[in-house]
Amino acid sequence: MLKKNDTINFVDFISHAKFDIPGGIHPRQYKSMSNQRAITSLAPAKEFFLAENAKPGNHGKRLVEIGDRVLAGQKIFESFIDQIENNTHSPYDGEVTEITHRKLGHASGLSMPGICISRISQNHTASLPPVKNWQQADPTDLIKRIHEAGIVGLGGAAFPTHVKLNSSEKKIETLIINAMECEPFITCDDVLIRERASEILQGSLITAQIVGASQIMIGIEDNKPEATNALAEQISKHLQQTRENNISSPKIQIIVAETKYPSGGEKQLIQLLTGQQVPQNKYPAALGILVQNIATLFAIYDAVCNGQTLTHRLVTLTGNLVEKPGNYWIAFGTPLSHIISKLGIPTNKISKIILGGPLMGTAIDKTSKECFSELNIPTQKSTNCIIFNSDKSDIMVSSPNDVHDACIRCGECEVVCPASLVPQQLYWFAKSEQWEKLEQNNLRDCIECGACSYVCPSQIPLVSYYRFAKSEIKHLKTRKKKSELAKQRFDNRESRLARIKTEREKKRKKTAEARMLTAANKNKDPDGKKSAIQAALQRVKDKKEEQS
């Protein structure tokens, strides 16, 4: 434990990772291309397309109609806090011009509904009141704020952050901060830490308070010494302050790990820092761990302390066609065509645009049919990097071949698989469509990092096979579920019909019996005359008795 007057050394809270992950690859980094420049902002586009992020079965609703005026940071699509979806806000003052479907740069070419906003001014001021003194705030209020601001995981998966913070399977002890950024080319996290370390630390402390974590572990690769230093300075300042003012603070550690892909995967990072493995089919919360990306933490800080809704993010713009590769603040929904023209990239030279990194991103090819309309594709919350490459590229960014060589079972893929799967066996099973075998061989534990495809000497697009197999298995499962449901419905209907039939039968029997009974009674006194006479006699008799 540190005493009050000890000076704080970096070595007190910086250490090297004690654990390792199996597998992994060391591709060329290409990071120095884009991490040498300070953060800049790109002049905003004229028009934005904001996807509604409404998956089937979701409950969110659109709050604006065509022609509506919207303000910067105004909520235009609302989600519910208990749903896996998130709010969307307008990045600038503007007008809703169109509500339509557009492609989002998904590998499948999927179109999504969304809202077109035409920008009126450059204004993008905060729209929510800042939370003063978050240290005293109620965690649920802070989660509400994070939901309100539309914050999602900015590491790439874009999973709504409020859902992650709300899941209370087990008490969270450790907040792990993912600053690994292990994919080549991408440097937005690196540069963000260099320039906004203090804000990121604040965001981490807010998050730790929300979940009640007693320790914060920051995982960072050893290729980011500047960022590590920036964080360390802020942490030492923070520790100094807490000690002087006698405030309790979570234990904070920076853990530097070897540069290796994919050590930034959530499960891999947990293993690297704690030596623990997330049990199969479980979330990190099962271990009392929450993992957040540093860009997300910055967004949390911004939402809580500045009242800023999430409308922009830092995006790495790089590739051999970008004259000044670097990191730019870009509003969500900015069309690629705008970025291309602002960067001055000649469209005819582009052979490939990659959204995300070269190992897990999606590509837009020159050979695609709708090349020019596709440049309409907007950036999204998950777009952390865009790579623009020409044909004559010294940078090796190649497409998987259409025809690949045969698998020779060399086993290189097994060596690099971080999940310790046997990729080549999964490939044989996927190719022969043996879905059950794939299930048995844990295909679901594949994180699609692409390390296996990267090393495959036969250049087999292994991940494509796995994605296909996964979707096929999912499809089969839903179909099975559906048919089971249908069968159940059919059985229910059959038994219901049978029940109604027997009930009706019973009823009919009953009425028939009753009818028989009255009929029998009627037979004894066919037209009821006898009883009528008797009744009359009785009445006379009664009267007489009264009179006497």
Partner 1 sequence: MKNSSPFIHDARSTSHIMRLVIFALLPGALAEIYFLGWGVLINIVLCSVYALSAEAFVLKLRDRPVKPTLSDNSALLTGILIALAIPPLLPWWMSLVGVWFAIIFAKQLYGGLGFNPFNPAMVGYVLLLISFPIEMTAWLPAAELAQQQPTLLQTIQLNFLGATSNGLSLHDFRLLADGYTMATPLDESKTAFSLGLMTTEITQDPRFSPNLSSWLGLNISFLIGGLYLLFNRIIHWQIPVSLLASLFLCASIFHTFDNELFLPGWIHLFTGATMVGAFFIATDPVSAATTPKGRLIYGASIGFFIVIIRLFGGYPDAVAFSVLLLNIATPTIDHYSKPKVYGTDDGGSKNA
Nearer to partner 1, 152 or 449 (CB): 449
Nearer to partner 1, 62 or 437 (CB): 437
Q: Which range of residues in 207-215, 249-257, 279-287, 306-314 is near partner 1 by CB under 8 A? A: 279-287
User: What whole-number distance in Å separates Cα of residue 90 and Cα of residue 145?
Assistant: 17
27 binds partner 1 (CB under 8 A): yes
To partner 1, the closest distance from the beta carbon of 366 in angstroms equals 11
Place of tokens 């540190």: 2
Nearer to partner 1, 254 or 278 (CB): 278
Which of 358, 375, 378, 383 contacts partner 1 by CB under 8 A? 358
To partner 1, the closest distance from the beta carbon of 226 in angstroms equals 25
Nearer to partner 1, 282 or 496 (CB): 282
Nearer to partner 1, 107 or 532 (CB): 107
* Contacts (CB under 8 A) with partner 1, residues 368-387: 368
To partner 1, the closest distance from the beta carbon of 166 in angstroms equals 23
Nearest alpha carbon to residue 151 among 379, 287, 307, 377: 307
CB atoms within 10 A of CB 468: 14
Q: Are 421 and 397 in contact (CB under 8 A)?
A: no
* Contacts (CB under 8 A) with partner 1, residues 38-77: none
Residues 6+ apart with CB under 8 A from 265: 182, 418, 447, 449
User: What whole-number distance in Å separates Cα of residue 442 and Cα of residue 280?
Assistant: 9
263 binds partner 1 (CB under 8 A): no
Nearer to partner 1, 337 or 459 (CB): 459
Torsions phi, psi for 245 (to 5 deg):
-95, 5
Nearer to partner 1, 271 or 318 (CB): 271
To partner 1, the closest distance from the beta carbon of 254 in angstroms equals 25
Residues present in the chain in total: 548
Which of 41, 111, 241, 420 contacts partner 1 by CB under 8 A? 420
The stretches of 158-287 forming alpha helices (DSSP H) are 161-166, 188-211, 225-245, 266-274
* Contacts (CB under 8 A) with partner 1, residues 180-199: 184
Residue 291 bridge partners (DSSP):
176
Classified as helix, coil or strand, 363 is strand
359 binds partner 1 (CB under 8 A): yes
Which of 212, 225, 275, 279 contacts partner 1 by CB under 8 A? 279
Residues 6+ apart with CB under 8 A from 205: 216, 238, 249, 250
To partner 1, the closest distance from the beta carbon of 256 in angstroms equals 23
| Alpha carbon 305 to its chain's center | 24
To partner 1, the closest distance from the beta carbon of 314 in angstroms equals 21
Q: Which range of residues in 205-213, 316-324, 325-333, 353-361 is near partner 1 by CB under 8 A? A: 353-361
* Contacts (CB under 8 A) with partner 1, residues 282-321: 282
Tokens of 221: 């690769």
* Contacts (CB under 8 A) with partner 1, residues 384-413: 396-400, 402-403, 405-411
From the CA atom positions of the chain, what is the Rg in Å?
Answer: 33
Nearest alpha carbon to residue 252 among 156, 337, 175: 175
CB atoms within 10 A of CB 82: 11
Q: Are 462 and 443 in contact (CB under 8 A)?
A: no
To partner 1, the closest distance from the beta carbon of 486 in angstroms equals 26
Question: Buried b vs exposed e over 524-535: b needs ≥16 C-beta within 10 Å?
Answer: eeeeeeeeeeee
User: What whole-number distance in Å separates Cα of residue 230 and Cα of residue 268?
Assistant: 24
To partner 1, the closest distance from the beta carbon of 333 in angstroms equals 22
* Contacts (CB under 8 A) with partner 1, residues 423-482: 424-425, 439-442, 445, 450, 453-459, 461, 463-464, 467
Q: Are 228 and 15 in contact (CB under 8 A)?
A: no
Nearer to partner 1, 22 or 212 (CB): 22
CA 412, 416, 422: angle at the middle one, nearest 5?
70
Which of 271, 296, 383, 390 contacts partner 1 by CB under 8 A? 271
Nearer to partner 1, 214 or 425 (CB): 425
Nearest alpha carbon to residue 2 among 255, 213, 249: 249
User: What whole-number distance in Å separates Cα of residue 82 and Cα of residue 472?
Assistant: 29
Q: Residue type for 239, please?
A: L
Nearer to partner 1, 408 or 533 (CB): 408
CB atoms within 10 A of CB 540: 9
x/- site string to partner 1, residues 118 to 157, per CB under 8 A?
A: ----------------------------------------
Nearer to partner 1, 237 or 467 (CB): 467
Q: Which range of residues in 22-30, 74-82, 303-311, 522-530 is near partner 1 by CB under 8 A? A: 22-30
Classified as helix, coil or strand, 35 is coil
31 binds partner 1 (CB under 8 A): no
Residues that bind partner 1 (CB under 8 A): 22, 25, 27-28, 107, 184, 267, 271, 277-282, 352, 354, 356, 358-365, 367-368, 396-400, 402-403, 405-411, 414-415, 418-422, 424-425, 439-442, 445, 450, 453-459, 461, 463-464, 467
